[in-house]
Amino acid sequence: MGAFPLLLLTGCLNAFRWMLWTVAVLLLILLVVQKVRGDADVHALPEVLAIGAFLVSGLISGWVARHLQGLAAQLDEVRASDAVNPMAQVRRTIDGLDDELVRLLALRQKQIERAAVLKPELGIPARVPDRIDEVLARVDAAAKREGLAPEVAREIWHGLIEWSIAHEEKLMGRKA
């Protein structure tokens, strides 16, 4: 979302806030007039609750509008910094990809830890050479398909597999 839609939404929220406060004031005036006229059937609690609800809603709308304005200003700053430093966007994208890689590697680690529980029960050692070859071949094919240099993928996964086996052996050794 760009800065303009955020500013437009901010304007709408501010208008909504003033409308809510206007309704609250009108309800308050109506309540005072009814009390002054001495209408016997008037119960003040519903009107007071309505006034309170409109006032609180107006406060919330104003709070959201202020935060959206701040977000729009930050977005403008990011765009301005991108114009001055085109590497800023590239670095933010790389940082986001790194975060996603870490998240996925953490999920992979959890599966390695599950395997370390299952393998002893099934009589499977931590290092299974056929499985290593299978994983490396699959990663090789995926790297070629995605445009990643296969030697890069192979080196990364070789290190990942070796760490995973060492981690499994450590966890499996604790159970023995």
Highest averaged pLDDT of the listed ranges 7-16, 64-73, 118-127, 166-175: 118-127
119, 125 contact by CB (below 8 A) = yes
Q: What is the pLDDT of residues 24-53, one digit of tens each?
A: 777 778 777 777 777 656 566 676 777 777
Section 138-165 average pLDDT: 95
Q: Mean pLDDT across the stretch 143-158?
A: 94
The predicted pLDDT at position 175 comes to: 52
How high is the pLDDT of residue 82? 65
Q: Taking residues 125-151, report their average pLDDT.
A: 95
Tell me what pLDDT residue 43 has: 66
Give the per-residue pLDDT at 176. Answer: 40
Tell me which of 129 and 21 has the higher pLDDT.
129
What average pLDDT score do residues 151-159 get? 94
Question: Cβ contacts of residue 3 below 8 Å, gap of 6+?
Answer: 72, 73, 75, 76, 79
Percent of the chain with pLDDT over 70: 86
Q: Counting beta carbons within 10 angstroms of the beta carbon of residue 61, is it exposed (0 to 12), middle (13 to 18) or buried (19 or more)? A: buried
